[in-house]
Amino acid sequence: MDMNLTAEDLEFQNEVRSFLDENLTEHLRNGLALTPGVFVEPDIGHEWHSILYKKGWITHGWPAEDGGMGWTPMQTYLYEKEVALAGAPKPAPVSLALIGPVLCKYGSPAQKERFLPRIRSGEDFWCQGYSEPASGSDLASLSMRAVLEGEKYILNGSKIWTTHAQHANWIFCLVRTDTTAKKQAGITFLLVPMDQPGIQVTPILSMSGDHEINQVFFDNAESLLEYRVGDEGQGWEIAKFLLQNERGGSCFAPKLLVQISNLEKHANTSSADDDAMKNDSDFMTRLAKLKLRAHALEFTELRIQADIANGRPAGPQTSLTKLISSNLTQDVQSLHNELFAYEGLQLPLERPLYNDNAPKPIGHTAGQASLAGYLNGRAATIYGGSDQVQKNIIAKRILNL
């Protein structure tokens, strides 16, 4: 793999940097930095979404024929990297990076015409209906039923850990349409409007007190036949495509390297220089090891980009980046909490932490969201496929064990 950037890549990188310098406000940076959840708060995400949409850079991961930028894999990676280095929020990832690419690949012409423009503009905000109370890591065992009656499906059951369902006006769901076939073969992919009497969203508060996830109940809720993506029984194939995007559809390493760099900066400062963590050899050794792991992850991600550039799909190696990045994220958060010590043990329940009414931090602002971020990050090795699931995929599909 050639690691040297072409003249065109360097020109593009400079264009991205100039755009970020001109458009990324301190308010947006603070919004991301002081959001302890997995996803940025919707108001911050939507504000940045509008800026990117106006620029025409909102759907860089989509095919050009469906409204994508037509960037090369390297340009896409450079964009993601510069965004991470600048501290920019990530707008509506469920809409843009999950359901959008699914519709580009599997959606009918009518579905593309209806939904893709509204995803690009931000008019529609999507959530994901995959996991169920008894079906998480073994997703194929899901039991939520959808029965076709005439031109509509009748849905009964529930989905859980549904991020930002309280803000969404659409949910895409894996549902069971056939109870007699092999469990993977009886699953169908449906688009469901949230604004209807048969749907109830119940909040689930995380250990940090954040309301980011929910349980969604379906009681004779309806979805039109025209909202089915693909054929009946094709849902598992579509789900695997989507999960590959979720696990490795973007770059994790640059964001982690920024977090590690920030840790280094904080470790080098203290009210009394003798007490600075830079003088703690054990802490600095662990920090250096985290940086080496993050750089190794970046090279793995670049190899995947090289595969894509050569016409090979991302494939099961995305499970490798998911496994590594999830564990590395948790280790970075642990060290972050250790660095800020008592300052990092703050757990204000007010949200958001970046508005005028936010509680004042005890000590450094970066410590205010430290514990909440650590607690929310415990789920990193579960959501999007647990560590155990990723290891099984790697063993079976990469190592052929």
Residue 400 Rama label (left phi>0; alpha psi -120 to 50; beta): left
Can you give the length of the chain in residues? 401
Chain segment 26-66, per-residue pLDDT in tens: 999 999 999 999 899 999 999 999 999 999 999 988 999 99
Return the pLDDT at 248. Answer: 53
Tell me if 126-233 shares its fold with 251-398. no
In terms of DSSP bridges, do strands 152-160 and 211-224 run parallel, antiparallel, or are they unpaired? Answer: antiparallel
d(CA 255, CA 261): 10
Greatest alpha-carbon pair distance for the chain in Å reads 75
pLDDT at res. 384? 80
Residue in the block written with tokens 């349980």: 215
Q: Nearest CA to 251 among 110, 97, 69?
A: 97
Q: Which residue numbers are catalytic?
A: 246
Q: What is the 3-state secondary structure (H, E, C) of 143-206?
A: CCEEEEECCEEEEEEEEECCCCCCCCCEEEEEEECCCCCCHHHHEEEEEEECCCCCEEEEEEEC
The residue among 139, 155, 26, 169 whose CA lies nearest residue 88 is 26
For residue 271, count CB atoms less than 10 angstroms from its CB and return exposed for 0-12, middle for 13-18, buried for 19 or more. exposed
Amino acid of residue 183: K
Q: Which helix (H) or strand (E) holds 238?
A: helix 235-248
- The domain segmentation of the chain, as residue ranges, is 7-91, 126-233, 251-398
Residues facing residue 205 across a β-bridge: 211
Q: What's the CATH number for 251-398?
A: 1.20.140.10
Half-sphere exposure of residue 286: CA atoms within 13 angstroms, side-chain side: 16
For the domain covering 126-233, report its CATH number.
2.40.110.10
Residue 118 corresponds to which tokens in the numbers above? 């509204």
What pLDDT does residue 8 have? 93
Give the pLDDT of residue 67. Answer: 93
Residues of the chain with pLDDT under 50: 1, 272
Q: Is 291 exposed, middle or buried (0-12, 13-18, 19+ CB in 10 A)?
A: middle
What does the pLDDT read at residue 272?
Answer: 46
Query: What is the reported pLDDT for 204?
Result: 97
pLDDT recorded at residue 277 = 82
Rg over alpha carbons for the chain, rounded to the nearest Å, is 22
Give 133's DSSP letter. Answer: T
> CA 236 to CA 347: how far, in whole Å?
40
